[in-house]
């Protein structure tokens, strides 16, 4: 059997491999200077966006060691737990929910009301909203989840597989013990339902807050992943730009011919 190496494939083929890898699994670094379809928002106690109140929504370094890079998005509800901090995305409007093949994100919380950790909301073209709250996918939720996820915990990074978790909606299922699987969601919503922007703010939201006024939430989000058959995109939230892994891989591959040439020259000198 003939064996192939990167040198045999040639320079053009190596570049093709790089671009194929990038198309199939892209990691996008989101920073205050390059939000790439995301927007940070906060709401006050009357649900007014970005006006008044002392809630916080920002990019920060840390905490601890985030799943990607060195930073994350930070939400703090300030002195009123009904306020919120949130991230919203407008890039995926028009995507059919039936086409989603992956949907996950990571959280870290230092203060909460005992269960609520940053949750996911999706606005739909039929007027419904989908809700994923990590605590309703745990063993204790009582909804018969066949693949339970961990209980939310403080002071540790946790990753939530929303597509394999439990959901509730405005129109069909309630929260807690009434939450249903993603398969149930698709059956209830019907075919052709897509993600839509809500008031031009973005139809995908990760938020913390909207709870009781006496609650205090301080939480962080990173590593949001969404995918279809066309590829998977992971968003790395950072305070400052860092090199993308795909860029570093491409650079390393581009250096391979030079490394091979140096090795040959060294071998020739030793032979001489």
How is 149-217 classified by DSSP, letter by letter?
BPPP-SSS-EEEEGGGSEEEESSS--SGGG-EEHHHHHHHH-TT-BB--STTS-SEEEEEE-S-TT---
Asked whether the predicted pLDDT for residue 232 surpasses 70, the reply is yes
> Which of 19-23, 68-72, 181-185 is least confident?
19-23
Give the domain range for residue 93. Answer: 59-254
Q: What is the mean pLDDT of residues 190-216?
A: 94
Three-state DSSP at 241 gives coil
* Domain annotation covers residue 229: yes
Give the span between the Cα atoms of 258 and 59, in whole angstroms: 39
Percent of the chain past pLDDT 70, that is, above it, reads 80
CA quadruple 43, 44, 48, 51: dihedral sign: negative
pLDDT tens, position by position, 57-99: 999 999 999 999 999 999 999 999 999 999 999 999 999 999 9
Q: 140: which 2 tokens?
A: 């204790």
Asked whether the predicted pLDDT for residue 240 surpasses 50, the reply is yes
pLDDT of residue 95: 98
pLDDT tens, position by position, 106-162: 999 999 999 899 999 999 999 999 999 999 999 889 898 888 999 999 999 999 999
The count of structural domains within the chain is: 1
pLDDT tens, position by position, 24-58: 789 999 999 999 999 999 999 999 999 999 999 99
80 burial (CB, 10 Å; 0-12 / 13-18 / 19+) is buried
Give the span between the Cα atoms of 230 and 86, in whole angstroms: 27
Which residues lie below 8 Å from residue 73, measured CB to CB, with a gap of 6+? 40, 57, 58, 59, 60, 87, 206, 220, 221, 222, 237
Give the span between the Cα atoms of 54 and 132, in whole angstroms: 26
* Domain annotation covers residue 128: yes
Residue 72 and residue 110 in contact, taking contact as beta carbons nearer than 8 Å? no
Q: Which residue has the higher pLDDT, 239 or 25?
A: 239
Confidence of residue 245 (pLDDT cuts 50, 70, 90): low
Start-to-end CA span in the chain (Å)? 34
* Domain annotation covers residue 54: no
* Domain annotation covers residue 38: no
161 burial (CB, 10 Å; 0-12 / 13-18 / 19+) is middle
* Domain annotation covers residue 23: no
* Domain annotation covers residue 242: yes
pLDDT of residue 67: 98
* Domain annotation covers residue 45: no
* Domain annotation covers residue 268: no
Q: What is the mean pLDDT of residues 250-266?
A: 46
b/e for 94-122, b at 16 or more Cβ within 10 A? ebebeebeebbbbbbbeebeeebbbbbbb
Give the span between the Cα atoms of 225 and 235, in whole angstroms: 6
pLDDT of residue 94: 97
Confidence of residue 11 (pLDDT cuts 50, 70, 90): very low
């Amino acid at each position: 059997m003939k064996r192939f190496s990167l040198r045999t494939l040639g320079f053009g083929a190596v570049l093709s491999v790089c671009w194929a890898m990038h198309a199939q699994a892209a990691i996008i670094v989101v920073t205050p200077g390059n939000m790439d379809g995301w927007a940070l928002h906060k709401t006050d106690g009357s649900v007014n966006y970005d006006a008044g109140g002392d809630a916080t929504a920002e990019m920060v370094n840390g905490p601890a060691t985030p799943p990607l890079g060195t930073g994350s998005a930070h939400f703090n509800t300030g002195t009123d737990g009904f306020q919120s901090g949130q991230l919203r995305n407008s890039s995926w409007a028009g995507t059919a929910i039936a086409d989603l093949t992956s949907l996950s994100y990571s959280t870290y919380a230092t203060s909460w009301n005992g269960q609520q950790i940053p949750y996911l909301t999706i606005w739909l073209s039929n007027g419904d909203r989908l809700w994923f709250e990590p605590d309703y996918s745990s063993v204790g939720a009582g909804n018969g989840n066949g693949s339970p996820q961990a209980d939310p915990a403080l002071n540790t990074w946790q990753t939530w597989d929303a597509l394999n978790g439990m959901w509730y909606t405005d129109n069909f299922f309630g929260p807690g013990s009434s939450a249903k699987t993603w398969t149930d969601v698709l059956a209830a919503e019907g075919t052709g339902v897509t993600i839509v922007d809500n008031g031009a703010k973005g139809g995908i939201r990760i938020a913390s807050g909207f709870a009781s006024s006496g609650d205090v939430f301080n939480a962080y989000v990173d590593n949001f992943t969404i995918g279809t058959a066309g590829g998977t995109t992971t968003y790395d939230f950072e305070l400052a730009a860092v090199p993308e892994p795909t860029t570093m891989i491409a650079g390393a591959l581009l250096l391979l011919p030079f490394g091979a040439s140096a090795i040959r020259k060294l071998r020739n000198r030793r032979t001489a």
